[in-house]
Structure 1
Amino acid sequence: MRKIVLSTFLLFSVFCCFGQTSNKRVCRLGFTYDISQNSNWGKNNLVVTSVSPYSNAEKAGIQPYDIITHIESIPVSDVSNDEIAQLLNPANKRNIMLTIKSTSSPSREVILNKECKQINEISENQLAMAFNMYSLETTSEREFVCPFKTVATTDTVDFGQFRSYKFAATDENTELEANINRVIEKELAKKGFTSDEQNPDLLIQTFYYFDKNPNYVGPNPIKLKQPVYRFNISRNKMEKVPFLDPSASESEAAYLLQFGIRIIDQKVSAGRVLWECEANELLEEAYHLEEYAQIHVPLMLMQFPYLKYKKNVHFTVSQCTYNYTGINYDMDKLSTVVSVDRNSPAHEAGVRAKDVIEGIEGQSTDYSIEEFTAAYRQFITNTMELRNPETRFTDSKGFSRCMYWDAFKYPQVNKAIQNPNNLTAFAYLYYFAPYINPTSNNAITFYVKQGTERKKIIIRPTIRTGIIIELK
């Protein structure tokens, strides 16, 4: 089994997506960005690549692929990379003013309040990712590849000037065409584009093909077939699909599928192809084009208007559903409360900074990081037989034995969670799940030491769900 080092992951998590460090504090921006070299979208400016769920950036309305043109009224294109980092993290200032443009807005100003925490502080979200083998059903980070070939015009043309679209006329107004167009329309609406049948800025064309492979000879008898998964954005889940691995040869495919989207200029230079994405898939069995469009159109259009990768696009999906109480722990001693988010369930219940959590749901927390790590690794090893091998997948860290719990063995899983030798105090993060807690009561009992006084505090957490899908 691959070595699982919890403490290393925790340290990594704390610094991910954070900015300046000062006086043992780190400040979180809540988004990641590229410095764009794309002549069609935000060249020499910042392009937002991901936004953390529940962050101040999300609350401020910042979205993926927004262009940040100014920081505190200073043009981004006029300063160096180091100066950009300094402008985003000014010393002794908790908020910054950003000027942003997007496909839905030519320009707007946003005040972003950074989230600053002590350097040794770890959130429940980070702990949920660190202890995700308790609940892979709700929390994991996975990768997948789509065989997309994407091109954009080599002309220097700002895609931000296009606001409306219509679909190209077809010889037959088929139900398939209408259903595919509805998926595209939904994604374009998210980006701020509007439909205009009379005078559109853009013309949208689709093309597709599906048939048996005339050159099919059968699967490779030597190579072990690996299951292929893709993320279905409409269902927020990874789904197994009957596609062959990108390394497979065409002769191994029983069926061939082609699907593409073409976006054509109607405003500046009529007829010019601005952007095109095409997928050519190898299939081991029949598959509906409509279902393909449902899953893949949103993935394809993630690169419009900001194109990063022209071939074989790698995606990372981070999913985390967990119990949020608002407690932030000391990563060096997880029983110690460093801070409590204001107006959170824990804050309302009376938990405060410097409190000591002596136990959670009858499980002691009085252990070192090393002890928690060793027990967690042992728990994973000892409970492998309780997992369903049909759900096996490899996570983004390369651990190939990830599996969901076997639904018929939930009672045994719960027994393992209850075993004090497994040090599963932080399984409370998944107390809503039937394999962790077979009752429907999601109230968590904390045993808290406040000064010299010991209290039993019941907290009713909020279930938080965060999903980040981005180009790797």
Structure 2
Amino acid sequence: MKKIVLLFVVFHITITLTAQDGYFYGIRYGKISTCIDGQTGYYTAILGVTPTSSADQAGLKPFDLILSINGVKIDENNTSLNLFSAPEAEFEILRMGNIHTLIKACGMKISKSNLISEAEWATIGMSDGQYSLYSTIRTLDIDPIQVFSDPEASLYQYCTYDFDFSESNTLQQKEIASYLEPVLTQKGMKRDRINPEMIIIIDFYSDRRDQYVPPTQRIVTRYKYGFEIGSGWGTRQYVETQKSGDYTKTEFLTKLTITMLDAKKMTSEPNKSANIWAANYETLSSVKVDIKTFTDAIGLAMLNCFPIKSIGLMEVSSYWGIGLLFDNNNEGFVVGVMPGSPAEKAGIKIGDELVSTKPGSSRFPCEMDYALQYLGKKHHKNFNNFNLYRSSNTTYENEIISQYINRMYTSTTHTPEYNSNQQLEIKIKRPDKTKFVVKVKPVYQKYYKYTLKD
């Protein structure tokens, strides 16, 4: 699928909350500018939640606004979430649909501050639409889409909506609305056909444009070294006439605009603009677009910018995980185990080192120990089956552990159907040097990661 790019006014930071010998909640957050209860200011928004983490299990979601933690207000004067040493936290959340709620979460104990989760591994070194043995990634880049919003409108406080269709292209508008409705539902909005708080207008246009390209002629001078009878060897000039054009170029212009209006203002103040948010995208293509494919990409990208206008990038990573956090500076060492995860059930603990893994499927290349031995003896640059590339400061062993201890155990394919009954055998080394093998069944996960515009 063609890579598309999509993202309120923004000054932001993006952090995964960790602590040295402290607690991990699995929240990625940033600072956005928006309006709440008529007050425009900077607020802290969740931009990613690590699957199976404390935050995920407690029910925190991307786009939630964190208003306070443990009674301490989080605003433009205090952007620190102070979770580094907090074994428990109570979050005051404002969620789309004007939902105010308190959510309690218990931090997960970790032994190192510089850590990386399986979810983050699933986004490293991957490009849009790329598949690997352990994950897939889909990227929506929002730059070509124009997004506008009323800075005085409290977008988080709208609960209900309905669509309004014009007389032209009505069927196309209704089809697009049917694809957008599940996305709005996921954001906490409800469709109310009788008394909606917001009206959504869809303007879609797609038509063929034929442009005649007239014939053109140009004179080209070329020089060629060669031999001619009478003059011998030498460089000679040749003049050629080249013709081009004289054809009809066909393109398809496609435009999509989504406009949101305050329903109350439309009736009570008909002479004033009721627009609160709008997004626009247009493109030229050589073939006519399929409405579903176009809306699944462009429509989703547009709505990713509601209610946070400043979203610039969305990454969706699908991967197979067992619930571990790794030391980012010491590959293969476990610094955290997710509560209730397959890894915890298998007996893996903080301080353990993953030294080899043997997937249950014979389709996987080979066991780690054999791979280390094979690469060390027979290869000097790279071994394509493992997709390894050696740099001047990297040994083969470290590179394999980086690529495969932290990634390989997750899956042999990316399809849930194939992996539903697969088990992995993982060789573990404890700090006391004892070694043993555990069997663990990976779980299919999806990680939604949002990045703000610079």
Shorter-chain TM range is 0.5 to 0.7
Per-residue CA deviation, residues 139-178 of structure 1 (Å, 9 max, x unaligned), is 3474634522222235x23234432222224336843232
Q: Secondary structure at the match of 2:308?
A: coil
Q: Secondary structure at the match of 2:199?
A: strand
Q: CA deviation at 1:252?
A: 8.3
Alignment-mate amino acid for residue 55 of structure 2 = A
Q: Bigger radius of gyration, 1 or 2? A: 2
Q: CA deviation at 1:122?
A: 4.5
Aligned mate of 1:445, from 400, 413, 425: 425
Q: Are 2:140 and 2:297, in contact at CA under 8 Å, matched by a contact in 1?
A: no
Q: Secondary structure at the match of 2:300?
A: helix
Q: CA deviation at 1:300?
A: 0.9
Change (3 A) 1:468 1:167: same
Q: Are 1:129 and 1:320, in contact at CA under 8 Å, matched by a contact in 2?
A: no
Change (3 A) 1:66 1:284: same
Stretches of structure 1 lacking an aligned partner (at least 5 in a row): 1-14, 219-250, 385-419
Alignment-mate amino acid for residue 458 of structure 1 = K
Q: CA deviation at 1:301?
A: 1.4
Per-residue CA deviation, residues 30-60 of structure 1 (Å, 9 max, x unaligned), is 1312242557796332233333333322322
Q: CA deviation at 1:327?
A: 4.5
* More relative contact order, 1 or 2 (CA 8 Å, 6+ apart): 2
Partner of 2:264: 267
Partner of 1:321: 319
Stretches of structure 2 lacking an aligned partner (at least 5 in a row): 1-12, 215-247, 359-366, 389-399
Does 2:94 align with 1:101? yes
Q: Are 1:445 and 1:458, in contact at CA under 8 Å, matched by a contact in 2?
A: yes
Q: Are 1:315 and 1:470, in contact at CA under 8 Å, matched by a contact in 2?
A: yes
Q: CA deviation at 1:211?
A: 1.3
Q: Secondary structure at the match of 1:31?
A: strand
CA distance in 2, matches of 1:434, 1:192: 29
Q: Are 1:349 and 1:457, in contact at CA under 8 Å, matched by a contact in 2?
A: yes
Between Structure 1 and Structure 2, the one with more strand by share is 2
Does 2:196 align with 1:200? yes
Figure out how many residues of one structure are paired with residues of the other and give that number: 372
Aligned mate of 1:256, from 253, 258, 270: 253
Partner of 1:61: 59
Name the TM-score, length of structure 2 as normaliser.
0.67
Q: How does 1:425-444 map to 2 (within 5 A)?
A: 428-433=408-413, 442-444=422-424
Alignment-mate amino acid for residue 88 of structure 2 = N
Partner of 2:383: 379
Q: How does 1:278-297 map to 2 (within 5 A)?
A: 278-297=280-299
Q: How does 1:123-272 map to 2 (within 5 A)?
A: 123-129=117-123, 135=132, 138-140=135-137, 142=139, 144-145=141-142, 147-153=144-150, 156-171=152-167, 174-215=170-211, 217=213, 254-268=251-265, 270=267, 271=270, 272=274
Per-residue CA deviation, residues 82-115 of structure 1 (Å, 9 max, x unaligned), is x321xx1256422222222223234211223333
Per-residue CA deviation, residues 239-268 of structure 1 (Å, 9 max, x unaligned), is xxxxxxxxxxxx987111111111122214
CA distance in 2, matches of 1:471, 1:28: 21
How many percent of aligned residue pairs carry the same amino acid? Answer: 19
Alignment-mate amino acid for residue 99 of structure 1 = E
Partner of 2:301: 299
Per-residue CA deviation, residues 263-301 of structure 1 (Å, 9 max, x unaligned), is 122214545122221111111211133442233222211
Aligned mate of 2:41, from 35, 43, 67: 43
Alignment-mate amino acid for residue 106 of structure 2 = N
Aligned mate of 1:460, from 441, 445, 453: 441
Alignment-mate amino acid for residue 346 of structure 1 = A
Q: Are 1:121 and 1:331, in contact at CA under 8 Å, matched by a contact in 2?
A: yes
CA distance in 1, matches of 2:67, 2:414: 48
Q: Secondary structure at the match of 1:139?
A: strand
Q: Are 1:180 and 1:294, in contact at CA under 8 Å, matched by a contact in 2?
A: no
Per-residue CA deviation, residues 436-467 of structure 1 (Å, 9 max, x unaligned), is xx999622222344546543433333333334
Change (3 A) 1:256 1:321: same
Per-residue CA deviation, residues 296-329 of structure 1 (Å, 9 max, x unaligned), is 22221122223227xxxx42414141242x4444
Q: CA deviation at 1:124?
A: 3.9
Q: Are 1:31 and 1:57, in contact at CA under 8 Å, matched by a contact in 2?
A: no
Aligned mate of 1:112, from 105, 112, 115: 105
Name the TM-score, length of structure 1 as normaliser.
0.65
| Cα-Cα RMSD | 4.2
